[in-house]
Copies of this chain bind each other. A is one copy, B any other.
């Protein structure tokens, strides 16, 4: 029996190496070579990695497979289910000040098409390249998040989109991109104005959230793909971190 097993395992390897294998087999086999990358990605999502600059080169295919494959969508779906259960339990005031905060990039709309050209984050951050991409207003909606956005609005929440994008250079493009992708009916889109230039996302977003709370908004939830979206002051009654193994925003 041991010999039969060895023969089978060698056959698996040969077929996989020849590229002649069903996606599901490839998918599960890929898991075995990417155990380090699984650990790395878990550490990123659990906020154990601080200020990482690029995806480790050996994790290029792992990150590509994850973010373009079904697991990323499943991970998002489960988080959105959790958010939904929380939303259902919120006792709203009816005064129109019950708010949610959503980040924009890789929370509402996806930069995956851009990051494909940056080897899914294995290449370092390219400020000019990203700006040129964002100016094209071609980020597609992340379907699970668009569904959640609509649900929040239907439930009567004021949805506030809060992004580190530069207001002056990317304001119009961002408004257009959000609208074309179906993000309609939000309360406000808050972008980074000159006063906040150079500040970390935590500092800038905390300052904005403080203003919102002072204006009377109750921040029931706050959703972002970066820990810097949901850390700091006035973070919200509950925060949710959606996955992003491609880049880190301080």
Q: Please encode chain A, from 159 to 202, with 1 for each CB lying within 8 Å of some chain B CB and 0 for all others.
A: 00000000000000000000000000000000000000000000
Q: Is the CB of A15 within 8 A of B22?
A: no
| Main DSSP-derived SS at the A contact region | helix
Could you tell me the distance in whole angstroms from the C-beta of A186 to the nearest C-beta in chain B?
A: 23
Instruction: Tell me if A49 is interfacial: C-beta within 8 Å of chain B.
Output: yes
Q: Is the CB of B48 within 8 A of A20?
A: no
> Which chain A residues (62-102) contact chain B, with CB distance < 8 Å?
70-71, 74-75, 77-79, 82, 86
Q: Please encode chain A, from 42 to 73, with 1 for each CB lying within 8 Å of some chain B CB and 0 for all others.
A: 11011111100000000000000000001100
Instruction: Tell me if A240 is interfacial: C-beta within 8 Å of chain B.
Output: yes
**Identity of the chain B residue whose Cβ is nearest the Cβ of A240 in the assembled complex:** B48
Binds B, one of A3-11, A111-119, A145-153, A210-218: A3-11
**Identity of the chain B residue whose Cβ is nearest the Cβ of A223 in the assembled complex:** B48
Query: What is the copy number of this chain in the assembly?
Result: 2
**Of B29, B45, B239, the contact of A42 (CB 8 Å cutoff):** B45
Chain A interface residue count, Cβ-Cβ cutoff 8 angstroms: 45
Instruction: Tell me if A131 is interfacial: C-beta within 8 Å of chain B.
Output: no
When distances are taken between beta carbons in the complex, the residues of chain B under 8 Å from A36 are: 74, 78
Q: Is the CB of A78 within 8 A of B9?
A: no
When distances are taken between beta carbons in the complex, the residues of chain B under 8 Å from A21 are: 5, 8
On whether A82 and B48 interact (CB within 8 A), knowing A28-B32, A29-B28, A43-B75, the answer reads yes
| Additional A-B contact list (8), CB under 8 Å, known A4-B15, A9-B22, A47-B241 | A11-B11, A39-B77, A42-B42, A45-B46, A48-B240, A49-B82, A50-B82, A50-B238
